[in-house]
Structure 1
Amino acid sequence: MADLPNSVSNPANSAPVIRVSDPARAAIADQKIIASAFQRVLSSGWFILGPENEALEQELATAASVAYAVVVGSGTAALEIALAAVGVGAGRPVYTAANAGGYAAAAARSLGAPVVFVDVDPDSLLMTTDTLQEAVTAEGISPAAVVVTHLFGASADVAALVDWCRPRGIMVIEDTAQAFGGMLADRPLGSIGDVAITSFYPTKNLGAIGDGGAILTSQPEVAAKARQLRQYGWEQKYVVTDPRGRNSRMDEFQAAVVRERLALLPTLTARRRAVHQAYEDATDAMVNRVASGFVAHLAVLRSGDRAAVREHLQGKGISTDVHYPVPDHLQPIERPRRVLVHAERAAAEILTVPLFPHMTDEEVDRVATALRSL
């Protein structure tokens, strides 16, 4: 893979700093297809809810093995609309993992729904039926909906969660923002729950060059409600029949770019997985394993002395980040009711290192060598 510009300097040595993610490189690599997509939109004369949106919805539905996709303005908007479309509102609790970045919680709060945070498995750092049952028992309140986040590109066992939730009348929403294109056994993520969402934020595995998101479902009534809610609550043009409506539409330019990148997704995912495998070969500290079907959105390691590891990597010109440093139930706006041991411990130990498909082989080797020397 050819070298691409990296503008960040590293005063410690002559090599440039390696970013955790670099969506600008993807834009440079995709200049021709982006230009072609833009020209297609300009020629069509449609800029909102036009043929690119329609085609993208069909292609996303096919990719996720669902009947319907509804594209919207962002991944967070997709969560809000998906929750509303399955009946979440005031007094109807939403349960979500405590280490998922707060996005599902923000969406639930926007609808007036109470939020209950769930601890995670100590190894996978994902919600499981056991951790969900523990939360439901501790709270004594049945969820209206559960948001299951496929964190870092790993697959939560959403099939088991659906088996537990469905007999109890609990809706299951998959958050595939970090794992679109992933599989659970032979089923695409996004096709297992009642409804799913994804995000096209530029750093995502399937990213735009602006923002966008989508709702995925095989339930026609959910898809119809999502289409209504994304455009003012209109039942028909200028006739509002749902007060929860908003303006959350994805523009044609972004839809056209995502269509082009959807076609490239298998190749980009293979590169992500290869980068992660190089890190796995260098250290046993990585949270996830490529062999499990992981689509490698983020490369996350764990250390009991994260500060020292971070300093070591910084000294070698390697950027790091933490996804996420504050568990959702410990955010300043929350009033934590329970200690969530595994989410809290992970937040103190995890560290994200560079991983994106346009990394050069030399950069991958630099990171792997630094990890090997920990």
Structure 2
Amino acid sequence: MPDKVPFLQFRDFVPGVHQQIEEAVVQVLRSGHFILGEEVAHFEKEFGEYLSDGVKVIGVGNGFDALVTALKAAGVGEGAEVIVPSNSYMATVNAVLQVGAKPILAEPDADSYNLTAAGAEKIITARTKAILPVHLYGQTCIMEPLLDLSRKHGIKLIEDAAQAHGALYKGKLAGTFGDAAAFSFYPTKNLGALGDGGAIATSDSGLSEFAEKYRNYGQQQKYVGELVGVNSRLDEIQATALRVKLQYLEQYNAERRRLAKVYLKELKAVGDIILPKSAPNCTHVYHIFCIRTRSRDSLQKWLLEKGIGTGIHYPVPVHLQPAYRFLGYKEGSFPVAEELAKTSLSLPLFPGLKEQEQEQVIRALKEFFQRS
């Protein structure tokens, strides 16, 4: 058995970052202040400044709560319909259901795997309250037509930017286009915390004021409930770790793009592999490097035997999940999403992946298709 290549591993890609995080966490522990303190306020300010002038960031407990809070802040609730891509992770659909709205699924683009304005427009009705595009795998959606569509029909646009920290569309960062955006800081994200964490980003003062209250039991002043809220607060330990990591986000993303460039060069014309494609004016930060092949299952088994970890994002499309049968979709409802689920395979790609490890992955892929 050759040396194992993990699908993902947390490594000190920029030497000393782990130590900086440890020292920052110790300072929080010594401060004795763990909820909605200075570290959260500093991170919210710094991440907002990173995104764009005028963007307000509100930290919450996780990416799912960020989606729910953004939808509620935008006025999406009972009786509303929200357009979401049919190939996203189930969290996006769950968030829509959580606020009492109905998710209306749209087929993604077959090349970029992202929701498009053309796909969304087909299913807009009088009940459509919002469009929820997902910047899947780290590539931005083509946002300008989606923005035009939302303005044309007078509906909200909420970005799911959970996988796209630092990705650009026409030079502007994901999470800065719509009425609001939701970010996840789950540890595996390009900007990941030490546990769960999330944030809403918005330039709308009304939405930001709602989110600030809603995340903290509906109160702005302690013990004065202005609305029915929840307990979903980014804690000080997560915020201090994110402050350190934010300083290196562009460096991390540059390394992801460098590793992706190697795969794109070396795997071109290998077997029936379909490589990731970048849409016009969209940049990719490769949260996931997803290839496609008709031999997905046998290839994954082969790579595992070679000591190489992989992932599948996602093996069952949301419309075929048991939990969502009540939505009325069935097999064949979304052929593109179903094809993606059958053929997609995610390769190891993370800051700190060694040259020899990537070479081992490439060599194993070429051997598989040479023998088959």
State TM-score, norm by structure 1.
0.91
Matches of 2:79 and 2:177, distance apart in 1: 26
Matches of 2:277 and 2:359, distance apart in 1: 19
Match of 1:68 in 2: 56
Contact 1:288-1:300 within 8 A present in 2 as well: no
Return 22-31 or 308-317, whichever deviates more.
22-31
Matches of 1:251 and 1:27, distance apart in 2: 25
Aligned AA (2:306): K
Match of 1:303 in 2: 293
Residues 302-338 of structure 1: CA deviation (Å, up to 9, x unaligned): 0112112212222221111110111111111223336
Aligned AA (2:267): T
Aligned-pair identity in percent equals: 36
Match of 2:338 in 1: 344
Q: CA deviation at 1:290?
A: 10
Equivalent residue in structure 1 for 2:225, among 240, 262, 287 = 240
Matches of 2:14 and 2:239, distance apart in 1: 15
- Tell me how large the CA RMSD over aligned residues is: 1.9
Match of 2:362 in 1: 368
Equivalent residue in structure 1 for 2:17, among 25, 30, 52 = 30
Match of 1:19 in 2: 6
Matches of 2:279 and 2:358, distance apart in 1: 16
Matches of 1:26 and 1:86, distance apart in 2: 39
Match of 2:235 in 1: 251
Matches of 2:207 and 2:82, distance apart in 1: 17
Residues 151-173 of structure 1: CA deviation (Å, up to 9, x unaligned): 00111112210111122111111
Q: CA deviation at 1:95?
A: 1.3
Contact 1:149-1:174 within 8 A present in 2 as well: yes
Match of 2:271 in 1: none
Aligned AA (1:120): P
Distance 1:42 1:337, change over 3 A: closer
Q: CA deviation at 1:39?
A: 2.7
Match of 1:200 in 2: 185
Residues 267-308 of structure 1: CA deviation (Å, up to 9, x unaligned): 111111111111111213222359952101001000112112
1:170-189 to structure 2, matched below 5 A, reads 170-189=155-174
The answer to whether residue 117 in structure 2 is matched with residue 117 in structure 1 is: no
The answer to whether residue 287 in structure 2 is matched with residue 312 in structure 1 is: no
Q: CA deviation at 1:366?
A: 1.1
Matches of 1:86 and 1:271, distance apart in 2: 36
The answer to whether residue 135 in structure 2 is matched with residue 150 in structure 1 is: yes
Aligned AA (1:352): S
Q: CA deviation at 1:142?
A: 3.8
Match of 1:288 in 2: 277
Contact 1:276-1:290 within 8 A present in 2 as well: no
Aligned AA (1:371): L
Return 220-229 or 60-69, whichever deviates more.
60-69
Aligned AA (2:353): M
Matches of 1:311 and 1:141, distance apart in 2: 47
Match of 1:263 in 2: 247
Matches of 1:300 and 1:25, distance apart in 2: 24
Q: CA deviation at 1:235?
A: 4.4
Contact 2:51-2:173 within 8 A present in 1 as well: yes
Contact 1:288-1:294 within 8 A present in 2 as well: no
Match of 1:130 in 2: 118
Matches of 2:170 and 2:47, distance apart in 1: 20
Match of 1:5 in 2: none
Q: How many residues align?
A: 357
Q: Is the partner of 1:314 in helix, strand or coil?
A: helix
Q: CA deviation at 1:26?
A: 6.8
Matches of 1:272 and 1:23, distance apart in 2: 14
Q: CA deviation at 1:46?
A: 1.9
Equivalent residue in structure 1 for 2:215, among 215, 219, 230 = 230
Match of 1:329 in 2: 319
Q: Is the partner of 2:84 in helix, strand or coil?
A: strand
Aligned AA (2:103): V
Q: CA deviation at 1:369?
A: 2.1
Matches of 1:161 and 1:370, distance apart in 2: 40
Matches of 2:365 and 2:285, distance apart in 1: 20
Matches of 2:161 and 2:10, distance apart in 1: 19
Residues 74-132 of structure 1: CA deviation (Å, up to 9, x unaligned): 00010010100000111111111111111111111111111111111111111001111
State TM-score, norm by structure 2.
0.91
Q: Which runs of 4+ in 1 moved over 4 A?
A: 24-29, 289-292
Contact 1:322-1:351 within 8 A present in 2 as well: yes
Q: Is the partner of 1:149 in helix, strand or coil?
A: coil
Match of 1:45 in 2: 32
Contact 1:119-1:135 within 8 A present in 2 as well: no
Contact 1:229-1:246 within 8 A present in 2 as well: yes
Aligned AA (1:286): L
Equivalent residue in structure 2 for 1:275, among 253, 259, 271 = 259
The answer to whether residue 78 in structure 2 is matched with residue 90 in structure 1 is: yes
Q: CA deviation at 1:23?
A: 3.1
Aligned AA (2:19): K
Contact 2:121-2:149 within 8 A present in 1 as well: no
Matches of 1:290 and 1:105, distance apart in 2: 24
Distance 1:186 1:24, change over 3 A: closer
Aligned AA (1:250): L
Return 25-34 or 126-135, whichever deviates more.
25-34
